[in-house]
Structure 1
Amino acid sequence: MMYLKKLLVTYSFIQVAVIGTMAQTSVPSKYSSELGQLKYQEVPLGSIKPEGWLLHQLQIMRNGTSGHLDEVYWKVKNDNGWLGGKGDGWEETPYWLDGAVPLAYQLDDVALKEKVLKYINWTLNNQRPSGYFGPITKWERETGKQITIETCEKGEDWWPRMIMLKVLKQYYTATNDNRVIPFMIKYFDYQKKVLKKCPIGKWTEWAQSRAHDNILMVQWLFSKTKDPSLLQLASLIQSQAFPWSSWLGNRDWVIHAAAFQNDSAWMSRHGVNVAMALKDPAVHFQRTGDSSYLKTLKTGFTDLMTLHGLPMGIFSADEDLHGNDPVQGTELCAVVEAQYSLEEIIGITGDTYYMEALERMTFNALPTQTTDDYNNKQYFQVANQVQVERGVYNFSLPFDREMNNVFGMRSGYTCCLANMHQGWTKFTSHLWYRTPVNGLAALHYSPNRITAKVGKNNTEVAIYEETAYPFDDQINFTFSTKNEVAFPMQLRIPVWCNEAIISLNGKEIRREKGGQIITIDRIWKNGDQLTLLLPMTVTTSNWGRNSRVIERGPLVYALKLEESWEKEQDEKEGEYFTVHPKGDWNYGILEKIVKDPIHNLEVKKIKPVSNDFVWNLANAPIEISAQAKKIPDWKVINDVAPQPVSDRTGIYKGKVIEEVKTITLVPYGCTKVRVVAFPVVK
């Protein structure tokens, strides 16, 4: 025993030493006077308008906290610092705007535009002569002076300004407001002059950890101005930031994150930091052209999902990375930030690997973590979540008040209350991308319409995408244009699709295997109809603790459990909801399902996906019937249901009730209590 203690102490020392050494290194960055060409470019905000179920989802958000957070949440509501007051001057107001701004322009909502414009106007109109911007600092109020280059240390943390830059960039693509570019030029000139005296990490490690978001906006501005000093600024910021690209490529980092949950170097394994940092190698690759960054990215993301990945497509982050056990949690902020990172990575790399990852987490992890009205959120979701209630669970940030798993507006940390709004809105704005040859690429599918100028003569075309995807396998594109126009249109064939069928005006034109981008380059005419059929089959996949997950197309399926909701009140965190199952949940699926899922699972289309669809049990359009047996010793212990132990063949060998039951599975995103990662029984 004494030897074991010495060994653990020695290993902990090595861990700290390695992290410390890694912090001093980074992937070599060669200076360039140009940016590499993006594989795909974003379309202007507002070019894509949601339709069908996606439109309803955004309307729910507009009617809920996404459109009214400034009215219902005291920190944003009261004397807001981003409107010149003494209130919130930190991250939560910019977080909210980062989702509310795209929502306003996607819905073309006049009232919401006016609301968010108040904050944008105040920010643009109150930039200091030095270039510094943001809420009035304590020093400025006390002295009556403004932040200058010489007094940069009297300013405040860089981090909230990074978020507001993302807000302004989106606003600019929607409006072309001629104030934005000069504003950014002035601010980045300020950064060039003060970063040696007031480095990125001067105030907090949050800015040092998330500096890639700053660099991303610097490089976006370069694409507009071609000022080479901006790329020098990007390299300077990188030199002061966490070396995520080095960590992601160094496999020790992800192993240490799995092995240790202490307070040593915890910022390097903080789940939301990691979600944001996924884009770090891609951002530096764009600037340097150094392909080693892409290798680092692929290694890091693959290792992350192997050691910490959960069936719904996201990694554990509660708040630390915490392994791949199905009873670990994931913070809502980690989901939406990982989505945003992947959206940027896709544009830079064009790699379908990240497109598949974005689709999986969006249609599975994202919808389950908010209530139907989008007024309450769950700080940590759990894959096998057999109850939602107060408790410590297996989280690395348990909180004495035990509020991290319940649904509430203010339960857990409120960063997610402010930040959750960018998930659906930014996914909507990245359904389509522009191609370098003035074409369009449909890389993710949901009902929408896009208006864009394409081809050699920038001819305007509108494309209406009608679909019940991800529940249905057919996607119809209808073209509307005054003049015939030649341009290439690209379509992603998902990796899970064995063979896609593409038809034009009712006639099949080709068949393609999954896992690729295809191009249809032709002269498009008004009224043309392109149909993409993506046949979905049922499969199973293997996850943590030798569990099995049932999948169909882009969705994973979870045990359907009728829900009992109760409203309760916490003295500090206000109203919240607990959810308990009404039926038994402790089932193992039969081995024959794993061996032959197609012949042992029955898929039923229960109801159509209507325009008022909501991600909940009542609206679940697909059910899958499966045979299972009850495992009587599988019980809740310390708030969670620890996964039953399987042998190496994947079979649970403990006591099983021999009666075979038919259980019903529904899309994971429609559930609040569930089992998704099943043990397997004979």
Structure 2
Amino acid sequence: MAFRKFSFLSLVAGGVAQTGLAPKKFNSLPLGAIRPAGWLSDQLNVQMNGLAGHQHEIHLDVSQVNNTDWTGGSGYYSNLEEAGSYWFNAAVPAGILSNNAVFNNLTLNFLNYVIDHQDSTGWLGPEVGTTKPRYLWGRYPFFFGAIQLVEHDPTLADRVVPALHKFVQVANTMLHNNGEGVDDWAATRWEDFVMALQWLYDFHPNGNEALLIDTMKMLKATGDPWEQVFATANFPTKAVDNTPNPFPVLTWHGVNMAEGLKALPSTFRFTHNQSDLARASEGWDNLFKFHGRPSGIFAADEYLAGLEAHRGTELCLVVETMFSGSFLYQVAGDPKYADRVRSFSSVAHSQPLTPRHMWTRQYLQQQNQIAAKNMTPNPFPNDGPYSNVFGLEPNYRWPKFITNSFVVTPDNKSLVQVYLGPFSTSTTLAGNNAVTVTVDTQYPFSDTVKTTVKAAQAFTYLVRIPSWVVGGTIAVNGAKATAVAPSNGLHAVNIAAGTTSLVLNLPAPITTESRPHGAIAIHRGPLNYAFDIPRTQKILARNAAEPRAVDLEFDSSGTWQFAIDPSTLKFVPRTVSALPSPVFDQAKPPFSMTVTACPISWSVAGDTFAAVPPTSPRCTGANTTLTLWPYGATKLRISEFPVMHA
């Protein structure tokens, strides 16, 4: 690839060099400091009892991860270019947060094997002792996994940190050698390595500060120019199927775009240039303006796919955008990032979940999806026609939503609850202030969030109030509830030493969103609502080694061609003492809506997906009442509805 010769003057604010890394608005807590509770803990356990927790036993790329010899670089180690690193990065937090001793032993064995086989130059991976070309990007997720293990168990630092620094030295040499090791994937995902280097700089610099900063600059200089890709003048405003990309083609790849959202906030830390954060914000807004979905995520199948409801969204894209949105919030402090992450987090539940277990997953989903089968014709220009079948493939919704749910301010004096949900956390703030927070809530399946804070000393507790909340209140220690008053999305509570109880009530109105062809989408709070199409199920294939792992085809078994009258939308909450398991199953959430609808003429494209919604359609039959469910609880759905013709 061509070496991108950027002037280092472009990497500093106003051409005046500044040293060190700019602080983030908020700092994350180490892995294990935040624990899931309630429905969220149950959801994680269901995942670990399914394919996510057993992938290493049956998947071809990973079936030898449990081989203690791993001779010849077998199993995941031989796939450190991609599969091994991804599995490791996901398995580390999944095992720790679910207290899965088997998984934790596997990840530790994997870490030890990789480090034990580091060569004298510092290189990590199966290329050691071979003539295979060395590419950098497959190591980046490995760094993330290793960092999380050190955060959880600081005694590992003496073994892990020197190995990471040794790799940085060889990587820096390669980058200065005309960008050696930078293939197309490394060029687009360089920000992940920058983030790992910044962790070393912040917590374990080992006297290598100058080398770490230089390596960050070289990664940007040899990487794709995200500051140009995200600029409004260059950003694609429709599906890119037939649009020439002025930048390297992988920049419009959906997962790369999701990962690239981290590039400019990571760059800002060493450039100290506010324009990096401004361009990141611009790119975020463009992405959702031109390719956004009512579910909160954006469409790419594999490349950016515009606004049409039959185009696909990839599971990997969802989890990477969650990670990037959390990082953007921590660096920039803009609540729009946290709001959107919370609004689309349920999308990750709908894709891999089949009824009552998680042994299959769906590669691509659609906002309007009337079947999940081998598609004829195929609406996805780059992915195969089998892409929306529920089947046996990697199944991870990385638990980074949990690990980013609390952060601390840079002075370490205040604790911030970013995401609302059932969590607990224990940490020590400045002045040796030991703080424990327990959040008891069914949110987003309830509007009430009860929090108990125990603190050794007084401090300020900050809780994010989502932008969709109208009429929110807070009651402290049983006193009369008062209106929440967030500043930049955060409501401050003065916590005294001892125990403090908080009760938040966070109601939200029903809202509608305009979609192409005069259609609308329905929202309340963080949840998008959809009509759950009745369906039949057919097993297409069953894994010989694990009979629970199947490929499933779904077909609609009832009418889905409806127009709705949005003026009749009604929210229908149910009070339940405990949420069902898993909560994202058919008709299980305690929140639903009803709406008046009528049958209409609505054609099918080929035999597998809905054509675009008809504009102002006339009813072809009597009115009926539809029940709408949270998007994540549907497998086949209509979520962009035509509106009844007046």
Q: What is the TM-score with the length of structure 1 in the denominator? A: 0.86
Distance 1:560 1:575, change over 3 A: closer
Q: What is the deviation of 1:28?
A: 2.6
Q: Identical aligned pairs, as a percentage?
A: 26
- Residues in 1 aligned to 2:275 and 2:397: alpha-carbon distance in whole angstroms: 34
C-alpha contact 1:319 1:397 (8 A) present in aligned 2 = yes
Match of 1:680 among 621, 633, 643: 643
SS in 1 for 2:609: coil
Distance 1:375 1:58, change over 3 A: same
Distance 1:320 1:664, change over 3 A: same
Residue by residue over 1:429-480, the C-alpha shift from the partner in whole angstroms, topping out at 9 and shown as x without a partner, is 11111112322100101111111112x4222222110000111111111123
- Residues in 2 aligned to 1:27 and 1:364: alpha-carbon distance in whole angstroms: 41
- Residues in 2 aligned to 1:549 and 1:674: alpha-carbon distance in whole angstroms: 12
SS in 2 for 1:662: strand
Show structure 1 runs of 5+ residues with no match: 1-19, 143-153, 411-416, 594-599, 647-651
C-alpha contact 1:494 1:516 (8 A) present in aligned 2 = no
Q: Name the counterpart of 2:143.
A: 165
Q: Name the counterpart of 2:164.
A: 184
C-alpha contact 2:360 2:550 (8 A) present in aligned 1 = no
Task: Confirm or deny that 1:323 pairs with 2:297.
Answer: no
Q: What is the deviation of 1:337?
A: 0.8
Q: Name the counterpart of 1:93.
A: 84
Query: Where in structure 1 do 4 or more consecutive aligned residues deviate above 6 Å?
Result: 20-27, 79-83, 570-574
Distance 1:343 1:124, change over 3 A: same
Q: Name the counterpart of 1:461.
A: 435
- Residues in 2 aligned to 1:495 and 1:214: alpha-carbon distance in whole angstroms: 33
Task: Confirm or deny that 1:175 pairs with 2:166.
Answer: no
Residue by residue over 1:493-545, the C-alpha shift from the partner in whole angstroms, topping out at 9 and shown as x without a partner, is 11111232011111136413578433435343433211111012211111233
- Residues in 2 aligned to 1:339 and 1:220: alpha-carbon distance in whole angstroms: 19
Residue by residue over 1:583-613, the C-alpha shift from the partner in whole angstroms, topping out at 9 and shown as x without a partner, is 21111111535xxxxxx42424275552633
| Equivalent residue pairs, number | 623
Q: Name the counterpart of 1:569.
A: 541
C-alpha contact 2:407 2:416 (8 A) present in aligned 1 = yes
- Residues in 2 aligned to 1:276 and 1:82: alpha-carbon distance in whole angstroms: 31
Q: Name the counterpart of 1:381.
A: 365
SS in 2 for 1:299: helix
- Residues in 2 aligned to 1:572 and 1:72: alpha-carbon distance in whole angstroms: 9
Q: Name the counterpart of 1:308.
A: 291
| Amino acid in the other structure paired with 2:567 | K
Q: Name the counterpart of 1:77.
A: 63
Q: Name the counterpart of 1:150.
A: none
- Residues in 1 aligned to 2:160 and 2:4: alpha-carbon distance in whole angstroms: 37
Q: What is the TM-score with the length of structure 2 in the denominator? A: 0.90
- Residues in 2 aligned to 1:160 and 1:282: alpha-carbon distance in whole angstroms: 22
Distance 1:591 1:527, change over 3 A: closer
Task: Confirm or deny that 1:660 pairs with 2:632.
Answer: no
Task: Confirm or deny that 1:358 pairs with 2:333.
Answer: no
Distance 1:27 1:496, change over 3 A: farther
Distance 1:206 1:638, change over 3 A: farther
| Amino acid in the other structure paired with 1:643 | V
RMSD, aligned α-carbons: 2.7
Residue by residue over 1:275-310, the C-alpha shift from the partner in whole angstroms, topping out at 9 and shown as x without a partner, is 110111111112211111111111111111111111
Task: Confirm or deny that 1:544 pairs with 2:516.
Answer: yes
Q: Name the counterpart of 1:625.
A: 594
Task: Confirm or deny that 1:470 pairs with 2:439.
Answer: no
Residue by residue over 1:35-56, the C-alpha shift from the partner in whole angstroms, topping out at 9 and shown as x without a partner, is 1111111101001111111111
Task: Confirm or deny that 1:292 pairs with 2:275.
Answer: yes
Q: Structure 2 matches for 1:362-373, cutoff 5 A?
A: 362-371=345-354, 372-373=356-357
Distance 1:608 1:157, change over 3 A: farther
C-alpha contact 2:571 2:593 (8 A) present in aligned 1 = yes
Distance 1:83 1:158, change over 3 A: farther
Q: Which moved more, 1:494-503 or 1:536-545?
A: 536-545
Q: Name the counterpart of 1:669.
A: 632
- Residues in 2 aligned to 1:21 and 1:591: alpha-carbon distance in whole angstroms: 54
Q: Which moved more, 1:117-126 or 1:317-326?
A: 117-126
Task: Confirm or deny that 1:134 pairs with 2:125.
Answer: yes
Q: Structure 2 matches for 1:390-469, cutoff 5 A?
A: 390-391=374-375, 392-399=377-384, 402-410=385-393, 417=394, 420-422=396-398, 425-438=399-412, 439-454=414-429, 456-469=430-443
Q: Name the counterpart of 2:226.
A: 244
Q: Which moved more, 1:70-79 or 1:297-306?
A: 70-79
Distance 1:83 1:334, change over 3 A: farther
Distance 1:629 1:21, change over 3 A: farther
- Residues in 1 aligned to 2:594 and 2:101: alpha-carbon distance in whole angstroms: 46
- Residues in 2 aligned to 1:40 and 1:556: alpha-carbon distance in whole angstroms: 29
- Residues in 1 aligned to 2:167 and 2:196: alpha-carbon distance in whole angstroms: 11
SS in 2 for 1:75: coil
Q: Which moved more, 1:517-526 or 1:91-100?
A: 517-526
- Higher fraction of helix: 1
Q: What is the deviation of 1:186?
A: 1.2
Distance 1:621 1:84, change over 3 A: farther
Match of 1:233 among 215, 228, 242: 215
SS in 1 for 2:563: strand
Q: Which moved more, 1:181-190 or 1:504-513?
A: 504-513
C-alpha contact 1:159 1:207 (8 A) present in aligned 2 = yes
C-alpha contact 2:174 2:180 (8 A) present in aligned 1 = no
Show structure 2 runs of 5+ residues with no match: none
Task: Confirm or deny that 1:118 pairs with 2:101.
Answer: no
Match of 2:466 among 491, 494, 497: 494
SS in 2 for 1:251: coil
SS in 1 for 2:297: coil
Distance 1:528 1:676, change over 3 A: same
